[in-house]
Amino acid sequence: MEIGAITSGLWTHGLIYVVPFLFVLTIIVFFHELGHFMIGRLCGIKALTFSVGFGPELLGFTDRQGTRWKLAAIPLGGYVKFLGDENAASVPDRDAVEGMSEAERRHAFPSASVARRAATVAAGPIANFVLAIVIFAGVVFFNGRVVGDPVVSAVEPNSPAAAAGFVAGDRVLSADGEPIDYFSDLQRHVAAAGANPIAFKVERDGQPVDLTVTPRMETREDEFGNSFTMPIVGLRAENVNGSFRVESLGPVQSLQYGVSQTWFVAAQTVGFIGEVVTGRQSADQIGGPIRIAQVSSQVSTIGLSALLNLAALLSISIGILNLLPIPMLDGGHLLFYAFEAVRGRPLSERVQEVGFKIGLALVTMLMIFAFWNDISGQV
């Protein structure tokens, strides 16, 4: 009986982690590969395989165009293999292309023009950004947006805001010249500023007041116990006399919100990567599949909208990651195509082979590092 209870508990605990993780990852991978597939087909390139996951096929079908759509056993990514590809990383198979008929060669990926190959490769990350826009827009369209007036209800003691002279009752009008309409606008501006000084204009007793605050980087924990480092100024807002409310947005406004939110998250992500490279941010916040599974499980307890928003955030991150100029990633292919466009001919097979080996090594090290962060974070 005890063994049965333990087994049942492990099974339930596993489902709590696995199901939200697979839900989020499958959406992101599917749309990324769908971007490659759709633009490739529009460019006249034949797709042999569309796979969600790697390894043995679990189920699938072949469409009228001869593309094999399949769900594979290892759900940690996916790929589209085009005619003329040597493998799932789209390394060109020159020997296979040379052995093709003229009709086949016209639909092979390596035989396509640089512009068509670049468009097909870039379509994957772009699809990730489009997916994020659609999710953000859809969630806010159906649920509305919680907004609050930019009025300070409390100032944390010994905080940067307190040192700058903020007091309860101040209404923030602008930050670095940008209008502040809601308290969330203030939070976003602080998050984007990092540790750089912010010039605020506030209204106090009907009079304008100028204040300059330098945020302090602090490590805090969310409600699930996850640690993260963020800029803090020490301003609080409370729902007093309906200052916080749900604002309904129409289709156009929702789409504008989706674009704005995606741009903000992308800019923050690129900024974080830059600060990690320059040593101003710790790389221990970089996570892999284990951390994604953990966060997915935690967020799923809040609701479907929260899980979809997480999918949007991860979709943006994966889109940016794939655009890095590292061979094996989409950005590496685009880098090769840029050289080809400038030179008028492709890089030599030897150079490309060495590049892919270096890219494989870099991607492998990144994966190992992410797994190490995941494991060490659980200890």
Residues carrying an active site annotation:
33
Residue 339 makes CB contacts below 8 A (sequence gap 6+) with 347
The DSSP code sequence of 167-181 is -TT-EEEEETTEE--
Q: Which residue bears the tokens 């945020």?
A: 215
Of the candidates 274, 275, 272, 282, which has an alpha carbon nearest to the alpha carbon of residue 313? 272
Of the candidates 231, 229, 230, 227, which has an alpha carbon nearest to the alpha carbon of residue 291? 227
Residue 263 makes CB contacts below 8 A (sequence gap 6+) with none
* Coil vs helix vs strand at 204: strand
The number of angstroms, rounded, from the C-alpha of 139 to the middle of its chain's C-alpha atoms is 17
Residue 185 makes CB contacts below 8 A (sequence gap 6+) with 150, 175, 178, 179
Task: Report residue 142: phi and psi, to 5°.
Answer: -85, -30
Task: Report residue 261: phi and psi, to 5°.
Answer: -65, -40
Residue 161 makes CB contacts below 8 A (sequence gap 6+) with 152, 155, 213, 233, 234, 235
Length of the chain measured in residues: 379
Quick one: tokens of 230? 């963020």
Instruction: Supply angle C-alpha 231, 232, 236, rounded to 5.
Output: 140
* 137, 255 contact by CB (below 8 A): yes
CA distances from 60 to 90, 256, 315 (A): 21, 37, 24
